[in-house]
Amino acid sequence: MKFFIDTANLKDIKEANDLGILDGVTTNPSLMAKEGITGADNILAHYVKICELVDGDVSAEVIATDFEGMVAEGEMLAALHPQIVVKLPMIKDGVKACKYFSNKGIRTNVTLVFSAGQALLAAKAGATYVSPFIGRLDDISTDGMALIEEIRLIYDNYGYETQILAASVRNVMHIINCAKIGSDVITGPLSAIEGLLKHPLTDIGLATFLADFKKGNS
Ligand code: G3P
């Protein structure tokens, strides 16, 4: 399973990358705004900085919501850096734009996916990645993980190559359950990824080992 970090924060991206387990980065306009990155030129420059920091795919989201606008913006984003994946919203023109980019060999990530039907459309349109938002479904008392299971089943039934990129991942259990189901990718904040490290018995065991070593060598 690939690990992407869902942030525009360069420090967090570097920290996850330094751990040696990072496969890519996802961003969105809200995450850019959170880091105070505003204005088209600054946002584009920030995407390039992220690409230079990591080896994997970096999703860059279009702002346009009409087909022509998405095509123009997506082509410009894709030309920025070979690691850029054009992120498109799951709306009618987004599906059309996804098919357009797929025909041109430009990689896409269809975002804001909340149903199996939407994921099926994204696969039909040749999306490289589909991003179902688990956490936001959980927020409205719907089972986000059940959606990942449904999409896995549907994609496997037909051999769709679109990768399931479980997004809006918020915690360790989201990651573990995605791994059990066979999500291709998860994207979440550094806290969720680093949460995988933690177990109290590891800390207690290490403290004991170090204390015993000291006793034997004092
Ligand atoms: O990858 C999608 C993500 O940025 C949304 O996460 O936590 O705002 O629902 P969240």
Confidence of residue 64 (pLDDT cuts 50, 70, 90): very high
Confidence of residue 97 (pLDDT cuts 50, 70, 90): very high
The domain ranges of the chain are 2-190
Q: Is the pTM of this model over 0.75?
A: yes
Residue 216: the pLDDT is 87
Residue to substitute in 133, 142, 187 for testing ligand 1 pocket (most ligand atoms within 8 angstroms of CB): 133
Q: Using the mean position of ligand 1's atoms as its centre, give its distance from the Cα of residue 134 in Å.
A: 9
Residue 118 clears pLDDT 90, i.e. is over it: yes
Residue 5: the pLDDT is 98
Ligand 1, atom 6, lies closest to the CA of 168
Confidence of residue 23 (pLDDT cuts 50, 70, 90): very high
Residue 26: the pLDDT is 98
Residue 215: the pLDDT is 93
Q: Using the mean position of ligand 1's atoms as its centre, give its distance from the Cα of residue 205 in Å.
A: 35
Ligand 1, atom 3, lies closest to the CA of 168
Q: What angle do CA 23, 151, 116 make, to 5 degrees?
A: 125
Spatial separation of the C-alpha atoms in residues 119 and 146, rounded to whole Å: 13
Residue 218: the pLDDT is 79
pLDDT digits (tens, 9 = 90+) for 125-172: 999 999 999 999 999 999 999 999 999 999 999 999 999 999 999 999
Q: Using the mean position of ligand 1's atoms as its centre, give its distance from the Cα of residue 35 in Å.
A: 15
What mean pLDDT is predicted for residues 191-214?
97
Judge: domain 2-190, CATH 3.90.1150.10. Answer: no
Percent of the chain with pLDDT over 90: 98
Find, among 117, 120, 54, the residue nearest to 81 by Cα. Answer: 54
